[in-house]
Amino acid sequence: MILVLDFGSQYTHLITRKLRELGANAQIFPSNLNPSQIPPQTKGIILSGGPSSVYDHSSPSFNKKLLNLNTPILGICYGHQLIAHLSGAEVKPGKVREYGKKEIKIKKSKLLEGLNPSETVWYSHSDDVTSLPKGFKVTALSGQTIAGFENGHLFGVQFHPEVNHTQNGQKVLKNFIKISSSQNTWNKKDQIQTLINEIKDEVKDENVLIGVSGGVDSLVASALLNKAIQNNLYCVFIDTGLMRKGEASEVAQIYKELNFKHFLSFDASANFFKALKNITDPEQKRKIIGHLFIKTFEKISKLLKKDKKIKFLAQGTIYPDRIESASSSVNAQKIKSHHNLTLPDKLNLKILEPLKDFYKDEVRSLGKKLGLSKSFLERHPFPGPGLGIRILGEITKDRLNILKEADAIYIEQLKKQNLYNSIWQAFAALIPVKTVGVMGDNRTYEYIITLRAVTSDNGMTADWAKIPNLALEKISSRIVNEVRGVNRVVYDITQKPPSTIEYE
């Protein structure tokens, strides 16, 4: 196993995912991990990047004793600077901050073996390693700045090999896997049967409750449970009123087609509208929606528990959810609240998380092995707070209905023109600003709909999708003509970073 110590990088999960894709078992741990807590099967350690400077008073560090182990250690970006700093090297604020693509020169190195003499890499830093202590050798240079070094079992790179923008980043990670003898430690074979056997062994003849949304995670988790325990599984869908057009009936149809014995749907939309009245702050909206969902689910769970004698609560928690809720890093800067909140202990149900060790793409792979339809598995990600964070400002029924219609037209047209599956995520959002327009001979004063579509491998970074102009023209025309209350449609061409994919 390779441990990834988290210093707050936005790319920490991406490092782990890339290692797994290359066949190495990788797990995230907090940066202040004590050497005595290192799992015995550990064969390598990676120090992630992060937003700090090694000279900041509160900058995160790690136990220096780790450097004295014979375990191979790779520092990426901030991790690169930290290894150098703790080893006695000189690290200084750079003359300029460097973000984006950069050309570097490669020297002979075990870690950088197979790379070209000149490589395009991705930089995101403001400090530089300017000199190295005795025993270290420079393995890459950016001008006169040290872009890579090694010293026996210690390695550092200033760039990010885990992002696609680094031309041969996978070769770097492959080399580290080889150096740490971590090949073939993440085996995807027989995972379905292993998971089913684990569920059966734990649940036995007891009943299990799971909240479902129609999203990939809860769908695959419930499908696994259905394979394992069938009649003992109870699926609950809560309609918050913030779902996409026709979502509630679509989800019910999915579970009917998959022959689930117990699927229960509850309409709680009136309660959500009441709680969100006059609320405009995005963080407040997220928290209200999250807490009210839990309160509603708790109420339903108590009734079912009493009637059906339910002992287990299953959740579609995936690895990123689990790591974030366990706070693997106190060093990351908060961008927005995560909508996944832990259900109250007072439910007194034992938690089952069959997908807790998997990433989204791995969950989709499991779903495919379970025989789930591609149309279910390839649905674009949908946020827990639903359309509540795609209506900027206050949520009203009028705005919600406008957005539902516009979003439905957008997605329908993308599918008709065979564009949907080439896009990571696409959605419409409502901007609560009215502009002047003209329809026929009449002046209008109506809302703006913004269209967002991005391409990505993982959602950590994203580029705007290059939808053909004729397709955008058709989408815009249909929305303006068919959705009352809209007279202007715009297309968002901003990357992530600097923007996020969602608007709130």
Torsion of CA 373, 220, 383, 401, to 10 degrees: 50
Q: Which two tokens stand for residue 241?
A: 């009123």
Burial of 335 (0-12, 13-18, 19+ CB in 10 A): exposed
Q: Is 215 annotated as a binding residue?
A: yes
DSSP secondary structure letter of residue 490: E
Among residues 13, 119, 160, 362, the one annotated as catalytic is 160
Q: Is 387 annotated as a binding residue?
A: no
Q: Is 327 annotated as a binding residue?
A: no
Among residues 77, 85, 98, 125, the one annotated as catalytic is 77
Q: Is 290 annotated as a binding residue?
A: no
- Per the CB < 8 A criterion, the answer to whether 272 and 241 are in contact is yes
Catalytic residue status for 77: yes
Which of 367, 74, 92 lies closest to 220, judged by CA?
367
Catalytic residue status for 162: yes
Burial of 175 (0-12, 13-18, 19+ CB in 10 A): buried
Print the SS3 string covering 387-448: HHHCECCCCCHHHHHHHHHHHHHHHHHHHHCCCHHHCCEEEEEEEEEEEEEEECCEEEEEEE
Long-range contacts of 162-165 (CB under 8 A, 24+ apart): 162/11, 162/14, 162/15, 162/18, 162/76, 163/11, 163/14, 163/122, 163/460, 163/461, 164/457, 164/461, 165/100, 165/101, 165/120, 165/121, 165/122, 165/461
Among residues 119, 150, 162, 446, the one annotated as catalytic is 162
Q: Is 214 annotated as a binding residue?
A: yes
What whole-number distance in Å separates Cα of residue 89 and Cα of residue 313?
51
State the catalytic residues.
77, 160, 162
Which residues are annotated as part of the binding site for ATP?
213-219
**Binding-site sequence positions:** 213-219
